[in-house]
Structure formats: structure tokens, C-alpha cells
Amino acid sequence: MAMDAHDIERLIKAAIPDARVEIRDLAGDGDHYAATVISESFRGKSRVQQHQMVYAALKGSMGGTLHALALQTTTPDGR
Amino acid sequence: MSIQEFIDKEVKSNDVVLFMKGTPQFPMCGFSGQVVQILDYLGVPYKGLNVLESDDLRQGIKDYSNWPTVPQLYVKGEFVGGCDIVREMFQAGELQDFLKGKGIPAREGAQA
């Protein structure tokens, strides 16, 4: 089962409106992605909490229809 | 004992626990394998729990941490992260400091 990169970006931006999202399709199979998400809303949060925000935005797709999403999260100034 | 109680007991009674697909000797997934490699490289003693042996465990660990994927690394009862976070911390040298801060022996000067 695969998921379109645009769908991933749309879901993340719906939940985290200021997010800058960059998605790479690692294997070209629509199933293995790497995403960088930059948002002010990550400030002061642990990496686990930041990733949980993105997973929540994906509404259960992660680990289901979305098999592999390597995730990197940061604030605009890299904290 | 419920699966949540079982997980809680494992996480709290072992200093370093890795919930993974496969075993430390035979990882069955590339992401689990990466975390195994990092822990082995650092010489950190840890307990591996294979979620492929039990559907209850596989789902239970996701509920326990509110985290949708495996592997999951726990140190002294605290959820550290999955493969991405562990790798990022390791590459930045943070994982070594974190383990040291928790009193877990890790090899000195080990960097990617």
C-alpha cells in the first residue's frame, strides 16, 4: 500500500499550518519517504514530542498505509 | 498480567530495552537493525524484545508510548525514540552523553 507525497504534505500542513515540509521519495515506490518538517510550534519540545505531533497529523497512516517515513523535525532556527 | 503491565515491567526493570522486529542477533527490519548496530557499536548492554513474536506486544508497545512504529528504545524507563531519533542523537554525539548521564556504560569517543 502506498501514499502520495502530496497527501503526506497536505496532512502535515493541515495540522501544523506554519510547517515547511520537504519530502523525498527514497525508493521511488511511493512507500519509503524521508521528510523534513520545520515549524515554530516545535520550539521547547523534545524530539519525541515533535515526531509525535507529525505522527498525529498523519492520523494513523504511519505504520499503516505509510510504511516508512524517516523523519527529521526542527524549528526555523534549528533548535 | 496485561500486556501494558508486562511492557511497563520490562521497561522499568531493565536499564536499556529495545523493542524491535527480530532479535539483536537477527534483526528482521532495517530500522531495527540500525539501532542494534548503534547500541552494539557503543558497547551498550541491552535487552531486545521481538515484537514479531506477539501481536499483543506489537500493538501494545505502540499504545504504551503513543508511538506508531518499531523499533523503540527505552533507557531507565524513559522512551528515547525510534530509529530516526536514535540515529540523529548518535551522529551528534548526544546519545553517548545521554547514556552517560543515565549511568549507562558506553564506549568513549565512538562517533559515526
Is the minimum CB–CB distance between B29 and chain A shorter than 8 Å? Answer: no
* pLDDT, tens digit (0-9, with 9 covering 90-100), for B10-37: 999 999 999 999 999 999 999 999 999 9
Q: What percentage of chain B reaches a pLDDT higher than 70?
A: 96
Contact B17, B42 (CB under 8 A): no
Q: Where residue A42 sits, what CATH number does that domain have?
A: 3.30.300.90
- Which residues in chain B have their CB less than 8 angstroms from residue A64's CB? 68
Is 0.85 exceeded by the ipTM? no
CA B111 vs. chain centroid, Å, equals 18
- Give the start-end residues of each E strand in chain B: 16-20, 47-50, 72-75, 78-81
CA dihedral A49, A50, A53, A57 (to 10 degrees): -150
The number of folded domains in chain A is: 1
Kindly tell me if the per-residue pLDDT of A25 is higher than 60.
yes
- Which residues in chain B have their CB less than 8 angstroms from residue A50's CB? none
Half-sphere exposure in the Cβ direction for B50 (13 Å, CA): 10
Long-range contacts from A11-14, C-beta under 8 angstroms, 24+ separation: A11/A57, A11/A58, A11/A59, A11/A61, A12/A37, A12/A54, A12/A57, A12/A58, A14/A57
What pLDDT shows up at residue B110? 47
What pLDDT shows up at residue A23? 93
Kindly tell me if the per-residue pLDDT of A14 is higher than 50.
yes
Q: Which residue range is the domain that position B61 belongs to?
A: 3-101
Mean pLDDT of A18-44: 91
What pLDDT shows up at residue A31? 78
The number of folded domains in chain B is: 1
Handedness of CA B27, A32, B51, B89 (dihedral sign): positive
DSSP, res B46: -
Q: Is residue B68 part of a domain?
A: yes
Q: Is residue B28 part of a domain?
A: yes
Mean pLDDT of A26-51: 91
Mean pLDDT of B87-95: 94
Q: Where residue B26 sits, what CATH number does that domain have?
A: 3.40.30.10
Q: Is residue A79 part of a domain?
A: no
Mean pLDDT of B91-107: 93
Kindly tell me if the per-residue pLDDT of B112 is higher than 60.
no
Kindly tell me if the per-residue pLDDT of B65 is higher than 90.
yes
- CB pairs < 8 Å spanning A and B: 31
Q: Is residue A40 part of a domain?
A: yes
Mean pLDDT of A21-46: 91
